[in-house]
Amino acid sequence: MAEPTPERRPVRWHIAVFLAPAVIVYTLVMILPLAGTLDLALYRTVDKAQHFVGIANFSKLFGDPNWSGHFWNALGNNFWFFIVNMAVQNPIGIALAALLSSPRLRMKTFYRTAIFIPTILSFVIVGFVWKLILSPLWGIAPDLLKMVGLRHWFAPWLGDPHYALTTVALISVWQFVGIPMMLIYAALLSIPDEVIEAAEMDGVTGMSQFWKIKLPLILPSIGIISILTFVGNFNAFDLIYVAQGALAGPDYSTDILGTFLYRTFFGFQLQLGDPNMGATIATAMFGIILVGVCIYLFGIQRRLRRYQF
Amino acid sequence: MKYRTLTGLLLAGSLLGGTAAMAATTTITIESWRNDDLTVWQQKIIPAFEKSHPDIKVVFAPSAPTEYNAALNSKLEAGTAGDLITCRPFDASLALFQKGQLADLSSMKEMANFSDVAKAAWQTDDGKHTFCVPMASVIHGFIYNKDAFTKLGITPPKTVDEFYADLDKIKKDGTYVPLAMGTHDQWEAATMGYENIGPDYWKGEEGRKAIIAGTQKLTDPQWVEPFKQLAKWAPYMGDGFKAQTYPDSQNMFTLGRAAIYPAGSWEISGFEKQANFKMGAFPAPVPKAGDTCYISDQPDHAMGLNAASKHKQAAMTFLEWVGSTEFAQIYGNSLPGFFPLINKPVKIDDPLANEMLGWRKDCKSTMRYTYQILSRGTPNLENALWAASANVINGTQTPEAAAASLQKDLAAWYKPQQH
Amino acid sequence: MSQARTSIPRSVAAHAVLLTYTVIALFPVFVIVINSMKSRRAIFGHPLALPSTKTFDLIGFRTVLQQGDFLLYFQNSLIVTVVSLFFVLLFGAMAAFALSEYRFKGNMLMGLYLALGIMIPIRLGTVAILQMMAATHLVNTLLALILVYTAQGLPLATFILSEFMKSISDDLKNAGRIDGLSEYRIFFTLVLPLVRPAMATVAVFTMIPIWNDLWFPLILAPAEATKTVTLGAQMFIGQFVTDWNAVLASLSLAILPVLVLYLVFSRQLIRGITAGAVK
C-alpha cells in the first residue's frame, strides 16, 4: 500500500488537479444521466406525470410473481453464466499466459496476437458466426464432429433449453479469453528475474515453481480479473442479444439481467418500454454488482499481499 | 500522438460546424425500421416525390428492426427524431400519440381514402383520433416450390388433411425438407405458425373480438386446436430445427432445399430475387372441406408526423402524398408483398403478390389477435405467445399447457378475462 | 535464466497446446472470410471448402461497396477511437495516480465513486445524455461520441491503473521528491513510463468496446457524415439479412480494419509490456 506522504502541506492542490478532468467528464456525462435514470425507480408514470411511490416498484419486482419469476430466472442464469466464465475462461487464460511466458518459446508473438483476436471482434460478428457454425443447416459443427467420429454428439445446442445458456457462456469464454491472458502475461513478465533465479537456486523449477513462486505473485492480477469478470458478466447483454434475441430463447433459458433490463426499459416488439420498472431492475443489478465489488475491495483485495518491485 | 489528437479534434470540430449550412430546400427525414427497403426508397419512391416537389428533399433513415423502437423512443424523448415516423400498428404508436409525440392527423382529407378497418391500427380506442397515414398490410399463408410440387405430383392443399398428405409425400420422397421453419428465433412459430393457421379455427374476427370482450378463453378448443396442429409440424421440419434461425429458413427455401415455407407476403420480393424456381402460394388450409377460410391480413406500417418537427409543412406535404393513389401504386409495385391499404383500385403487377391479394376475395380477413389491446399489460401476451408456440413445436410444452399458461398471463392483468 | 528447463517434449507440448488454441480462436474468422468470397450455393453446399475457381465470387463485396462510404465510416471510427482513448488514458492515469499515491480524506470514497461507472451500463442514461447533447448542439458530431466514450472508459481505466500504480516502488518517487521534482514531474516523468504495460493493456480494453459500439453511434450520430464502421456494417447486416454474400462480405469488411489496427497496435502493446517489465 502507498505510504503516507512524508510531509503534510496545507492544501495539496495537485491532488485536485490530478482528479479534476476525470471527475468532471465522468460526473457530467455518466453519473448525472445515470442518476437521473435510476431515480425513476422511485416513481410511477400516471397520466404523463411522475408520481413518487417510494419502494413500491421494488416490492412489485420481488413480490409480484409476473415480475419476480423473470427476475429470479435471469439472476440464476446470470450466476451460471458467471460460473462458467470463471471456471473456464480464467483458468484457460492463466494457463495460456503461463505457457507464453516460458522462456525461449518460439512464435510467441504469433500465438499472443492470434489468441487475442476474438476479443477485438464486435458482438455482431461473434453472434453471427457462432450461430452459423453451430447451425444444423450449414453443417460446420456436425461435419467437424463427424471427422473425429463423434457426429452423434451434435445437437441443436442453441435451440435447446438445457444447453443454450452454457453454449452462449462458452462463446463468451471464447471471445474474452484474451483479456485474462494478457493481464496475467503482463503480471508474469514483471516478476523480476532475481526472484526466479533465487527459486531455481533452491531447486524450485517447472510446475512447482509456477504454483509456489509465480502464482502467489500474480494473485493481485487474478483478483482484478475475477472482479472484472464478475462486473462484466452481470452487465452482459450484447452477446445474448445478438445470438438469442431480446427474448433470450428458448423459453427464456438464456435470459440474463441485461436482456431482462433491456426488454423492460426500452420495450420489445409489442411490449412497451417501462422506464420506471426498467430503472428498478437496473438499481437491483447495481446493488448486486456493488455488493460483489465491495466484497472484493474490502474482503479480498486487502488480504492480497502486494509486492513492490 | 499530440499532433494526431489535435487533427482529430479539428476534424471533429469541422463536422460540428458543417451540419447547419443548408438553406434553400427543406430537408425532411423519415424514421423507419424497414432498412431492407432502403434502395427502393432511394431509387424509386423518393425520386417520384421530389420530381413534383423540387423544394423538398427527403432522407430515408432506417435503423435495424430490432433497435427501431428503443432508438426511436430515445430520440423522441430528447427531441432529435426525424420529421416523419414510420408507425408500428396499434399500441406502440398509440403510446407515442398519447405522450404527445405523434401529431393528430384526423383532419387530413386523405384519411377519406382509407377504410375504418385500415385506419383502426393507428387510432385511439374510441376511433376519434387517427395519428398515422396507413401504408401497407401483409398477408399470411404458405409459399411453395412449384417445381417441387410438379415433380412430386402434388397440388396445393385446401384442407388440413390434404396438407398433411402432401407433407407425408414430400417427406417420403426425401429430396426436400417438407417445411422450412425453425424455432430458434421463436417469432416465426407464433407469427407464421399459430397466428397464420389459427383464424380458421377461431373464425377470424369473431374469435379475436370474443377474446377482447372476454366471452372466449384462450383455453377454449378453437384456441388450443392450432397448437395441436403446430405440435404435428415438428417431424416435417428440418434436422435440428430448434437451432434453425429465420435467415436459415429463408435460405433453405430459396436454395430449393425445402418445399413449403410458412410465410408472410413481405417475403415475396426477396424470394423472387433469390430463388431460381417457380413459386406459388396457398392460404392456411381449412379443417374440413367447404369451411370458410380466414386469412391473417395484418396492418403492418403507416406514417405519422413527429409533433416536434421543425418542418411540419413540408412533412405534411409528404404525408398527403403518402395518402394518395399515386403513392399506393408506386409502393405496392416497388415492394410486392406490402399491400396498399387505400380503398381505391391499385394494380399490382407481381403474379405471386397478386395471388395472395386474391385471397381477400374468397377468404375472410382478420389480423393477429395479440396486437390490439391484448398486449398492453405485463406479462406481455405477444412475447408469451412466441415462447409458447416455440415450446409446443419443440415438444417441451403440451398444447393444453401452452394455452393454459397464455390464459393465465392474460388474466393476470386483463379485466374482461378475470371472471 | 541459465537453468530454465526447455526439454524438447515440454516445448512440443507447449506448442501443441498453443497451436490448438490458436486454431480455435481463428477458425470462426476463417469461416467468415473464406465464405465471403464464394458463390451463394457454395456457401451452403461446402461451407468449409476454400474458394475455388468454380466457386470464387466477389458479388457480396460488390453489393456492399456500392452503397455506403466505408472509407469515411472507417475514418470516423478511427478519430472517435483514438481521441477517446487518448483522453481516457490521460485522465484515467492522472486520477489513478491521485488515488494510489496520496492519502487524503475521502480517498476510498472517491475510488468507489469513480468505480461506480463500471457497475451500471451507461446505456441506461441514454435519454439524459441525448438531451444534453441536443441542448449543446452536439448531436451528429463525433465530439458527442468522444465525450460519452471518454466518460465510459474512465472508471475501468482508473480502477486498473491505480492497482498497477500501487506496486511502483516508493523509493523512486521519494528520490524524485528529494531531487526537487514537482508532483506533476514525478507523475509524467517517473510514474507514467513505469506503468506503460498497464497503459497498453487498458488501451486495448478501452479501444475494443468503443470501436465495436453500436448503440451510441445509432442514437447520437446516425448521420451519414458521422456514421462509424460498426454502425455501417450493422446496417448492411440488417439490410441483406437474406443475402448472405453481402452479409459475409460486410462482416469481413468490418473485421479487416480492426484486425489491421490491432496488428499494428499489438506491436506497441507488446513493446509496452516488455519495456515496463524489469528485465
| Together in a domain, C76 and C161 | yes
Question: How far apart are the C-alpha atoms of A274 and A132, rounded to whole Å?
Answer: 34
Domain assignment present for residue C258? The answer is yes
- Mean pLDDT across B351-372: 93
Residue C6: per-residue pLDDT = 54
Q: What is the pLDDT of residue C275?
A: 54
The model's confidence at residue B273, banded by pLDDT at 50, 70 and 90, is confident
CA distance A273 to chain B (A): 8
Window from A25-34, A38-47, B85-94, C153-162 with minimum mean pLDDT: A38-47
pLDDT given for residue B402 in this prediction: 97
Same domain, B49 and B158: no
pLDDT at position B213 is 95
Interface test mutation site (partner A, options C17, C94, C124, max chain A beta carbons within 10 A):
C124
Residue B230 pLDDT level (bands cut at 50, 70, 90): very high
| One domain for residues C48 and C171 | no
Chain A to chain C Cβ contacts (< 8 Å): 282
Q: Where are the beta strands (DSSP E) in B146-243?
A: 177-179
C267-273's contacts with Cβ under 8 Å and 24+ in sequence apart are: C268/C200, C269/C200, C269/C201, C269/C203, C269/C204, C270/A109, C270/A112, C272/C196, C272/C197, C272/C199, C272/C200, C273/A185, C273/A186, C273/A189, C273/C196, C273/C197, C273/C200, C273/C201
B79/C141 touch (CB, cutoff 8 Å), yes or no: no
The whole-angstrom distance between B220's CA and the closest CA on chain C is: 38
Same domain, B118 and B129: yes
pLDDT at C167 over 70: yes
Average pLDDT of span C77-98: 94
Q: How far apart are CA B348 and CA A236, in angstroms?
A: 47
Domains of chain A: 81-245 (1.10.3720.10)
- Closest to C277 (Cβ–Cβ): which among A5, A111, A189? A189
Torsion of Cα atoms, A13 then A14 then A16 then A22, to 10°: 160
Q: What 8-state DSSP symbol labels residue A86?
A: I
Asked if residue B4 has pLDDT above 70, the reply is: no
Q: Are residues B44 and B122 in the same domain?
A: yes
DSSP three-state, residue B142: strand
At A55, is the secondary structure helix, strand, or coil?
coil
**Domain of residue C90, residue span:** 63-276
What's the pLDDT score for residue A101? 86
Most trustworthy range by pLDDT among A201-210, A227-236, B212-221, B243-252:
B212-221
C260 with C126, same domain: the answer is yes
Model confidence at B13, in pLDDT bands (50, 70, 90)?
A: very low
The pLDDT assigned to A300 comes to 80
- Look at residue C242 in the predicted model and tell me its pLDDT: 66
Give the residue, B242 or C46, on which the prediction is more confident: B242
**pLDDT, chain A, mean:** 87
Residues B164 and B51 in one domain: no
Nearest CA in chain A to C161: A224
Q: Are B61 and B150 in a shared domain?
A: no
pLDDT computed for residue C27 by the predictor? 93
pLDDT digits (tens, 9 = 90+) for C192-210: 888 877 787 788 778 888 8
3-state helix, strand, coil in chain C (%, to 5): 75, 0, 25
Supply the range of the domain harboring residue B97.
19-136+299-352
CB-based contact, B186 to chain C, within 8 Å: no
- Per-residue confidence (pLDDT) for residue C68, from 0 to 100: 67
pLDDT band, residue B6 (cuts 50/70/90): very low
Burial class (CB in 10 A: 0-12, 13-18, 19+), B122: buried
Q: Is the residue at C3 inside a domain? A: no
- Answer with the residue of higher pLDDT: B14 or B234: B234
How many Å lie between the alpha carbon of B32 and the closest alpha carbon of chain C? 12
* B156 and B231 part of one domain: yes
Copy the grid coordinates of residue B273.
430475387
Q: Does B6 touch chain C (CB under 8 A)?
A: no
Contact across the interface for B16 and C141, Cβ inside 8 Å? yes
**Do C205 and C151 belong together in one domain?**
yes
Mean of the per-residue pLDDT values for chain C?
83
Same domain, B215 and B150: yes
In this prediction, residue B295 carries a pLDDT of: 95
Q: Could you tell me which chain B residue has the CA closest to the CA of C242?
A: B247
Task: With cut-offs at 50, 70 and 90, classify the pLDDT of residue B14.
Answer: very low
Residues B278 and B305 in one domain: no
B11, B18, B78 member nearest C131 (Cβ): B78
Q: What is the pLDDT of residues B405-418, one digit of tens each?
A: 999 999 999 999 99
Residue B2 lies in a domain: no
Residue C2 lies in a domain: no
Residue C256 falls inside a structural domain = yes
- The answer to whether position C1 is within a domain reads no
Interface of C with B (CB under 8 A): 40-41, 44, 67, 79, 82-83, 86, 126-127, 130-131, 133-134, 137-143, 146, 214-215, 218-219, 222-223, 225-226, 234-235, 237-239, 241-244
Is the Cβ of B40 closer than 8 Å to some Cβ of chain C?
no
Write phi, then psi, for B256 (nearest 5 degrees).
Answer: 80, 20
Interchain proximity B390–A251, CB inside 8 Å: yes
Q: Between C234 and C95, where is the model more confident?
A: C95
Top pLDDT among C44 and B397 is at B397
Task: Say what percent of chain B tops pLDDT 90.
Answer: 79
Neighbours of B201 (CB within 10 A): 24
* CB contact (8 A) between residue B36 and residue C239: yes
- C264 lies in some domain: yes
Cα–Cα dist C268/C197, whole Å: 10
Closest-CA residue of C relative to B276 is C41
> What is the mean pLDDT of the segment spanning B81-106?
94
Domain count, chain C: 2
At B15 the pLDDT is 45
Which span out of A38-42, B77-81, B330-334, C107-111 was modeled with the highest average pLDDT?
B330-334
Nearest to C22 among A111, A132, A297 (CB): A111
Based on the domain organization, do B123 and B175 belong to the same domain? Answer: no
Residue B8 counted as domain residue: no
Residues C85, C180 share a domain: yes
Residue B129: is its pLDDT beyond 50? Answer: yes
Q: Is B417 helix (H, G, I), strand (E, B) or coil?
A: helix
Q: Flag the least confident range among A58-72, A149-163, B189-203.
A: A149-163
Cβ of C266 within 8 Å of Cβ of A1? The answer is no
Residues C117-131 have a mean pLDDT of 83
Put simply, whether B276 touches C (Cβ < 8 Å) is no
Cell representation of residue A150: 463423434
Yes or no, beta carbons of B274 and C127 under 8 Å apart: no
Q: Please write the tens of the pLDDT for every residue from C129-142.
A: 988 888 898 988 99
CATH number at residue B169: 3.40.190.10
Contact A112 C276 (CB under 8 A): no
- Cis omega (within 30 of 0) for bond into B379: yes
Least confident interval from A102-116, B95-109, C43-57, C240-254: C240-254
Is C20 an interface residue toward A (CB < 8 Å)? no
Which chains have 3 or more CB–CB distances shorter than 8 Å to chain C? A, B
Q: Which residues, 6+ apart, have CB-to-CB distance to C104 below 8 Å? A: A12, A15
Closest listed residue to residue B300, CA positions, set B249, B264, B333, B253: B264
Distance from CA of B108 to the nearest CA of A (A): 27
If asked whether residues C120 and C45 sit together in one domain, one would say no
Whether A245 has its CB under 8 Å from any CB of chain C: the answer is: no
Q: Is the pLDDT of residue A1 over 60?
A: no
- pLDDT at position C196 is 79
Task: For residue range A119-169, list pLDDT tens digits in order.
Answer: 888 888 898 889 889 988 887 888 888 888 888 888 889 999 999 999 999
Chain B positions touching C138 (Cβ under 8 A) are 16
CA nearest neighbour of A183 among C269, C25, B141: C269
The ipTM is: 0.84
Could you tell me how many CB contacts below 8 A there are between chain B and chain C? 95
Q: Which one of A103, A117, A122 has the shortest CB-CB distance to C25?
A: A117
Q: How confident is the model at residue A75 (pLDDT cuts 50, 70, 90)?
A: very high
Higher-scoring residue by pLDDT: A233, A3: A233
Q: Do both C67 and C101 map to the same domain?
A: yes
Give the pLDDT of residue C47: 81
Number of domains forming the structure of chain B: 2
- Across the interface, of C11, C29, C170, the residue whose CB is closest to A117 is C29
Cell 388450443 sits on residue: B224
Looking at residue C228, what is its pLDDT? Answer: 87
- Is residue C2's pLDDT more than 60? no
With an 8 Å Cβ cutoff, are C130 and B77 in contact? yes
The interface residues of chain B toward chain C in range 76-115, judged by CB-CB distance below 8 A, are 77-80
User: Where do the DSSP E strands lie in B128-249?
Assistant: 133-145, 177-179
Question: Per the domain annotation, does B7 fall within a domain?
Answer: no
C174 and C194 together in one domain: yes
Whole-angstrom Cα distance, residue A285 to residue A264?
A: 13
Q: What is the CATH number of the domain that holds C131?
A: 1.10.3720.10
Q: How many residues does chain C have?
A: 279
Find the residue in C nearest to A181 (Cα): C201
Distance CA C138, CA B180 (A): 47
Model confidence pLDDT, tens digit, residues B369-392:
999 999 998 899 999 999 999 999
Tell whether B404 is covered by a domain.
yes
Domain assignment present for residue B358? The answer is no
Shortest CA gap A153–chain B (Å): 13
Distance from CA of C185 to the nearest CA of A (A): 11
